[in-house]
Amino acid sequence: MPAVAPGTYDLQINVISPDGTVKDGPRNPADLKHDHFTANIVVKMTVVVNAIGVYWFALELAGQEVLRLPLTVSYVSQTDSRTPRPAADGPPSSTPPLTH
C-alpha cells in the first residue's frame, strides 16, 4: 500500500463481479490520524450476487485503489429433511408424503 499522510480522505468500496463488471459502492470519509495506521471499516451495503465465482471488493482511498478483498460465491444444493426423496427403484413421486 502506498504511504498515506494523516488526514481525511474519501473512501469508496467498489464491487467487481466475476465477469469484470464494476459497481460503485458506498463512499464515506475516512479520518486517518497517523502515518502508520490500521483502520476498521464497517459498511452496510447490499451486494447483488447473480453468478458464481469470485467477487472483489476494491477499496479506493482518495481515488487510488489500495486494497482488494475476495469473496468466493459457489452454489451448493441442499436437501431439506421435509423434501420427499425419490424411491430407490424408480422416478420421484409426485404424491406428497402422508401425514398422521
Q: Is residue 25 part of a domain?
A: yes
Is residue 98 predicted with pLDDT exceeding 60?
no
pLDDT tens for 41-75 read: 888 888 889 999 999 999 999 899 999 999 999 98
Cα separation, 6 vs 32, whole angstroms = 5
- This prediction's pTM: 0.67
Q: Is residue 48 part of a domain?
A: yes
What's the pLDDT at 24?
A: 93
Do the Cβ atoms of 66 and 60 come closer than 8 Å?
A: yes
Structural domain tally of the chain?
1
Q: Is residue 84 part of a domain?
A: no
Q: CATH code at 25? A: 2.60.40
Q: Is residue 85 part of a domain?
A: no
Q: Is residue 86 part of a domain?
A: no
What's the pLDDT at 83?
A: 67
Model confidence at 40, pLDDT cuts 50, 70, 90, reads confident
